[in-house]
């Protein structure tokens, strides 16, 4: 299918060293010829950077640039493409872009370059989505997972599981086609065994907690009664004086959040208002916010003050502790007046024990089995979940002794959901929705 030629600024807006204008489509050669003049006798050699000028309609200079001519099909979109490297900032790239439009190109829609790569069969839908996930990755783990997906990790997994499902379906078909030759109870037993294995593989890949940690990061909340040193600990963990610290209880009023990287996972660390009964309306709102932050946290660091006896407020927090909690005994540089079994002993003031806390936090937010092997895309997880439900239905119907061909209907459904992940039978609507979330120029 002949598609019009698209163009866009592919670099982020704002000041920078260079800005790149790229184009793709059947008219790419003519458009590049019309807006680029190589220096001297230089001619455009495919895939080689050429120095020259971007020029306007009357040959006037628009910018000093480097241009590359990329004839298809060995390109990102599989079409003829070009890229022009202009000076950074908003003006030069805009002028060159306007010129390509004057020559007949059209501004690309978000993700349209990648959409063409998909429509032209270079990559499947899950790999196209990986491009966007990689651009938006906020941590080392997220980038690793996206890169693995881009290399075909998700597609490979879908293919493998689909083949296994097809194997099960073939056995069921043999049963119904040749009932005299196949032992049905034996076939049912084998199918159940295989389905259990497929089931476990999909569940392992699609662990939603890991996916969320990789995609969005973890949330860690520092909680405790006033004046125990939460803000001091926040600053010690960030290695900067971010939160206000005073000897006045009730200093922190709002939730204060900063990002840190823990073992390649992005974590949001929040300091909160000290939790106590208070008549001050502002402080009360702060305490309510602290409680809400604790509710939504992946990890709660309960901070106690070693230099004071434990109070009813400390006991209340310890009473509410659960599997997400880490108990820390702060101010261990001062004479001891309290303790707590299993607590991490530290001092935000001297830094003693802070490294140990970082290690523990890193352990708590780590993704089991490695980030690369996890499915992280929301769309993929939803479809994998639906296929899992269909497989479960098949398992149940076999276990209930129903005819095997009923299970086959469920397995066919499971297969359909899986193939939507790679976009094999994705509708135009699904495809459009996927690419809408992309940025222009990608
Ligand atoms: N000696 C000593 N003092 C500390 C330590 N950590 C905090 N402090 C002191 O304890 C007081 C309270 O510290 P903050 O960090 O403001 O305590 P907070 O828990 O954030 O208090 P609120 O915001 O009121 O809830 C300050 O005077 C800090 O200097 C520590 O490890 N050792
Ligand atoms: Mg504070």
Provide the 8-state DSSP code for 275.
Answer: P
Asked if the model's pLDDT at residue 1 lies above 60, the reply is no
Asked if the model's pLDDT at residue 433 lies above 90, the reply is no
Asked if the model's pLDDT at residue 388 lies above 90, the reply is yes
Average pLDDT of span 138-147? 88
Phi, psi angle pair for 88, to nearest 5°: -70, 180
Asked whether residue 262 falls in the same domain as residue 319, the answer is yes
In this structure, is residue 60 part of a structural domain?
yes
Answer with the one of 108, 142, 165 that is the final residue of a domain: 108
Atom of ligand 1 nearest to the CA of 228: 19
Phi, psi angle pair for 37, to nearest 5°: -120, 110
Asked whether residue 22 falls in the same domain as residue 137, the answer is no
Contact 81, 22 (CB under 8 A): yes
Asked whether residue 97 falls in the same domain as residue 10, the answer is yes
In this structure, is residue 94 part of a structural domain?
yes
Asked whether residue 235 falls in the same domain as residue 189, the answer is no
What the block records as the tokens of 62 is 């628009």
For residue 402, what are the domain limits?
130-207+374-435
Asked if the model's pLDDT at residue 157 lies above 80, the reply is yes
Q: Which pLDDT value is given to residue 297?
A: 93
In this structure, is residue 295 part of a structural domain?
yes
Ligand 1 centre distance from Cα of residue 331 (Å): 8
In this structure, is residue 20 part of a structural domain?
yes
- The CATH number that applies at residue 15 is 3.30.1360.120
Average pLDDT of span 381-406? 94
Answer with the one of 341, 365, 389 that is the final residue of a domain: 365
What the block records as the tokens of 177 is 């086609």
Determine what percent of the chain is predicted with pLDDT higher than 90.
74
Asked whether residue 355 falls in the same domain as residue 328, the answer is yes
Pocket (CB within 6 angstroms of ligand 1): 224, 226-232, 245-247, 249-252, 273-274, 330-331, 333-334, 347-349
Total domains, the chain: 3
Asked whether residue 185 falls in the same domain as residue 221, the answer is no
Asked whether residue 78 falls in the same domain as residue 102, the answer is yes
Burial group, residue 372, by CB count within 10 angstroms (0-12, 13-18, 19+): middle
Sequence-ordered strand ranges (E) for 234-298: 256-262, 265-271
Asked whether residue 292 falls in the same domain as residue 165, the answer is no
Q: Name which residue leads in pLDDT, 269 or 423.
A: 269
Asked if the model's pLDDT at residue 401 lies above 70, the reply is yes
Q: What is residue 405's three-state secondary structure?
A: helix
Residues with CB under 5 Å of ion ligand 2 are: 230-231, 251-252
In this structure, is residue 120 part of a structural domain?
no
Answer with the one of 53, 78, 108 that is the final residue of a domain: 108
- The CATH number that applies at residue 422 is 1.20.120.430
| Average pLDDT score, the chain | 92
Asked whether residue 231 falls in the same domain as residue 358, the answer is yes
Q: Which residues of 148-164 are buried (b: 16+ CB within 10 A; e: fewer)?
A: bbbebbbbebbeebbee
Atom of ligand 1 nearest to the CA of 235: 15
Helices (H), 239-366: 281-295, 312-319, 354-365
Ligand 2 centre distance from Cα of residue 232 (Å): 7
The edge-to-edge listing of strands for the beta sheet with 299-305 is 256-262, 265-271, 218-223, 299-305, 325-330, 344-345
> In terms of pTM, does the model score above 0.85?
no
Task: Render 356-375 in DSSP notation, one character per residue.
Answer: HHHHHHHHHHPPTT-STTS-
Average pLDDT of span 360-370? 86
In this structure, is residue 114 part of a structural domain?
no
Asked whether residue 138 falls in the same domain as residue 271, the answer is no
Asked whether residue 169 falls in the same domain as residue 232, the answer is no
Asked whether residue 399 falls in the same domain as residue 280, the answer is no
- The CATH number that applies at residue 326 is 3.40.50.300
Determine what percent of the chain is predicted with pLDDT higher than 70.
99
In this structure, is residue 123 part of a structural domain?
no
In this structure, is residue 238 part of a structural domain?
yes
């Amino acid at each position: 299918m002949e598609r019009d030629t698209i163009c866009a600024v592919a670099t982020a807006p704002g000041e920078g060293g260079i800005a790149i204008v790229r184009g793709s489509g059947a008219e790419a050669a003519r458009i590049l010829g019309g807006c680029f003049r190589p220096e001297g006798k230089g001619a455009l050699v495919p895939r080689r950077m050429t120095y020259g000028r971007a020029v306007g309609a009357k040959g006037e200079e628009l910018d000093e640039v480097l241009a590359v001519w990329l004839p298809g099909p060995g390109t990102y979109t599989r079409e003829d493409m070009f890229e022009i490297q202009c000076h950074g900032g908003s003006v030069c790239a805009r002028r060159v872009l306007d010129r390509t439009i004057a020559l007949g190109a059209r501004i690309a829609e978000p993700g349209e370059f990648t959409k063409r790569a998909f429509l032209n069969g270079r990559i499947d839908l899950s790999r196209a989505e990986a491009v966007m996930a990689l651009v938006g990755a906020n941590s080392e783990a997220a980038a690793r997972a996206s890169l693995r997906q881009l290399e075909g990790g998700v597609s490979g997994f879908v293919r493998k599981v689909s083949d296994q499902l097809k194997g099960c379906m073939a056995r069921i078909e043999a049963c119904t086609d040749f009932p005299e030759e196949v032992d049905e109870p034996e076939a049912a037993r084998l199918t159940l065994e295989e389905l259990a294995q497929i089931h476990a593989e999909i569940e392992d890949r699609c662990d939603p907690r890991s996916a969320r940690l990789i995609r969005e990061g973890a949330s860690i909340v520092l909680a405790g009664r006033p004046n125990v040193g939460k803000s001091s600990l926040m600053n010690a963990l960030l290695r900067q004086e971010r939160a206000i610290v005073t000897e006045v209880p009730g200093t922190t009023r709002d939730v204060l959040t900063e990002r840190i990287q823990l073992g390649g996972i992005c974590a949001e660390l929040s300091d909160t208002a000290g939790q106590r009964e208070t008549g001050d309306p502002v402080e009360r709102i702060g305490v309510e916010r602290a409680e809400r932050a604790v509710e939504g946290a992946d990890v709660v660091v309960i901070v106690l003050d070693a230099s004071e006896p434990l109070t009813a407020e400390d006991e209340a927090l310890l009473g509410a502790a659960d599997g997400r909690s880490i108990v820390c005994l702060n101010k261990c540089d001062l004479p001891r007046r309290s303790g707590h079994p299993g607590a991490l002993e530290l001092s935000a003031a001297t830094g003693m024990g802070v490294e140990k806390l970082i290690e523990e936090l890193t352990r708590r937010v780590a993704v089991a089995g490695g980030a690369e092997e996890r499915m992280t895309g929301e769309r993929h997880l939803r479809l994998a979940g639906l296929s899992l439900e269909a497989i479960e239905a098949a398992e149940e119907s076999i276990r209930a002794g129903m005819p095997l061909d009923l299970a086959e209907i469920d397995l066919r459904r499971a297969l359909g959901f899986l193939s939507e992940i790679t976009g094999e039978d994705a509708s135009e609507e699904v495809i459009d929705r996927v690419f809408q979330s992309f940025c222009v120029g990608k």
